[in-house]
Amino acid sequence: MQKLLFTLFFFLTSQLVLSQGFQVNFQGQKQQGMGGAGTALPIDGASLFFNPGSTSFLKENSVNLAMTPTFARTLFVDANTNQSARTNSPMGTPFSAYAVYRKSAESKLFFGLAVYTPFGSTVQWEDEWMGRFALTRLELKSLFIQPTVSVKLTEKVGLGVGFVYCVGNVNLQKDLPVMDASGNYGHAELAGKANGFGVNAGVFVQATEKIGFGLTYRSQVNMSVTNGQATFVVPSSLEANFPNGSFSSSLPLPQVITLGFSYKPTDKLSLALDVNYVGWKAYDTLAFDYETNTSSLFDTKSVRSYENIFAFRGGANYDFTDKIAARLGIAYGISPVQNGYVTPETPDANRINYTAGLSYKVGKHFAFDASIFFTHLKRTDTNIETNLSGTFTTNVVAPGLAVIYRF
């Protein structure tokens, strides 16, 4: 099982900054079609992520597999030189799998297993770009495995809790401003595996037939790298100054508190609204502690000073027939990155996400969901640590597809 998980894990490449910071919110195609809202609208197995409390209100067992190929392109225009550089990051493949099961239609108890990628990004900047001494490549992957229990306490109230085990890895690379006789700059690569634990808990209230409320808490997960490997390529005369060896570091994946609201004006139309409060303040410093320090290689502490933020998500679902449904959504997210702290690894900005989706049921057991996501980010800043100054513009497009087996 462990091996399978890791195999699965290494096939994932995540994606650039899809939501604030390096958080990704591609967890369910239906919810994606509705701007990423769904805390108070139990519609499918993705409720394991959105609100484990609402899972017990599902009407059937299902297995849900989804993938959202993500295309992100960032342009940086240097404020001093007017010169530009681009990312050529690989396609991101956020992935999610949800299985929910109850013994019988009368059972108040749902069991679920969710496997998803809530945080991640791979940013690859073009060779020799002007920020090469700040970053050339960052690959951050995380895979959450969440066994969950959801109970329908009363006809109106559901409660659920999931235990989260997280595995991840990080690979950060940059050039070093030491040149050898052939004109090559040094290069540093910090790679490591990390893991962490957390919970995802929620309560769902179906206040009336038309109105629902949800409240969830996803705890902070501290991803700690204890035995990372630092590899340096430097001119031979400096090899003693940059010894390869181990390092430790940690990255907090922040807690998220979400309040959700749903409303069904008619049988065919559902509306959902979520407000996320994300505890990015936990990402205060990115520190690297090297096992061997030298006069050139010392432990680093880069201040990130992220701030807690709100995100607002809203969407609508319309059932045209029993088989076909369509969705539209919009979201507004505030960036946790303060002015002066924008980095090439997370060229973040306040953003509006536009989404749409479509569902189609085939026969008794199968269903397909599709969604599309678009966002555009623009941020001008001068980083106080590196003094890299300019404007980052990012476009992200992510079409997603899910296959659902219902039983």
Partner 1 sequence: MNFKNTKRLILGLGILSFTFACKPKETSIEVSAGDVDPTRFVSIGGITTSGFMDDALYAEGQENSLGAILSEQFKLVGAGNFNQPLMPSSSVGWSQNGMSRLLLGYKTDCLSITSLSPVRIASQGDLTGFGSYVYSSSNKFNNFGIPFIKTTEFSTPGIGNPANGLGLYNSFFTRMASDPLNGTIKADILAKNPTFFTLFTGMDEVLMFAKNGASVGSLTPINGAAGIGFDGSITDLLTDLTGNGSRGAVSNIPDVTDFPFFTTIPYDGLNLDADNAFTLNEIYNPIGIYFQVGKNAFVIEDPTAGAFGARQMVEGELILLSVPLDSMKCNKMGSVFPFRNEFILTNPELLQIRNTISGFNAVLASAATTYNLAFVDSYSFFKKIKTGIVYNGISLSAKFVSGGAYSLDAVTLNPRGNALLANEFITSINQKFKATIPKVDATKYRGVIFP
* Nearest distance from C-beta of residue 145 to partner 1, angstroms: 28
- Is residue 322 part of the contact set for partner 1 (CB under 8 A)? no
Query: How many CB atoms neighbour CB 79 within 10 A?
Result: 13
Site for partner 1 in 3-62 (CB under 8 A): none
- # residues contacting partner 1 (CB under 8 A): 54
Tell which positions 173-192 bind partner 1, by CB under 8 A.
174, 177-181, 183
Q: Tell me: does residue 370 bind partner 1 (CB under 8 A).
A: yes
Instruction: Restricting to residues 101-160, name those near partner 1 by CB under 8 A.
Output: 128, 130-134
Of 104 and 295, which CB lies nearer to partner 1 in the complex structure? 295
**How far is 277 from 282, CA to CA, in rounded Å?**
13
Does residue 349 touch partner 1 according to CB under 8 A? no
**List 31, 93, 206, 394, residue binding partner 1 (CB under 8 A):** 394
CA–CA gap between residue 74 and residue 126 (Å, rounded):
10
List binders of partner 1 among 227-256 (CB under 8 A).
234-238
Q: Which C-beta is closer to partner 1: that of 16 or that of 225?
A: 16
- Of 175, 48, 26, which Cα lies nearest the Cα of 114? 48
Distance CA 131, CA 250 (A): 24
Least separation in angstroms between residue 337's CB and partner 1 is 17
User: What is the token pair recorded at 247?
Assistant: 């390092």
Least separation in angstroms between CB 81 and partner 1: 5
Work out which of 286, 358, 380, 403 binds partner 1, going by CB under 8 A.
Answer: 358
Range in contact with partner 1 (rule: CB under 8 A) among 51-59, 165-173, 210-218, 394-402: 394-402
Q: Which one, 2 or 177, has the nearer CB to partner 1?
A: 177
Residues between 286 and 305 that touch partner 1 (CB under 8 A):
296
Query: Which of these segments, 110-118, 164-172, 263-271, 370-378, binds partner 1 (CB under 8 A)?
Result: 370-378
Backbone torsions φ then ψ of 321, nearest 5 degrees? -135, -175
128 phi/psi in degrees, rounded to 5: 60, 25
How would DSSP label each residue in 377-406?
EEEEEE-TTT--EEEEEEEEEEEEEEEEEE
**What is the identity of the amino acid at 160?**
G
How far is it, in rounded angstroms, from Cα 352 to Cα 206?
29
Q: How far apart are CA 114 and CA 163, in angstroms?
A: 10
Least separation in angstroms between residue 246's CB and partner 1 is 24
Distance CA 350, CA 337 (A): 9
Binding flag, residue 351, partner 1 (CB under 8 A): no
Of 307, 372, 380, 403, which lies in the binding site for partner 1, with binding defined by CB under 8 A? 372
d(CA 251, CA 196): 10
Nearby residues of 227 by Cβ (< 8 Å), 6 or more positions away: 192, 193, 246, 248
> Nearest Cα to 192, choosing from 227, 236, 140?
227
Rg over CA atoms, the chain: 22
* Residues within the interface to partner 1 (CB under 8 A): 69, 71-75, 77-78, 80-84, 86, 128, 130-134, 174, 177-181, 183, 234-238, 296, 324, 358, 360, 362, 368, 370, 372, 374, 376, 385-388, 393-399, 401
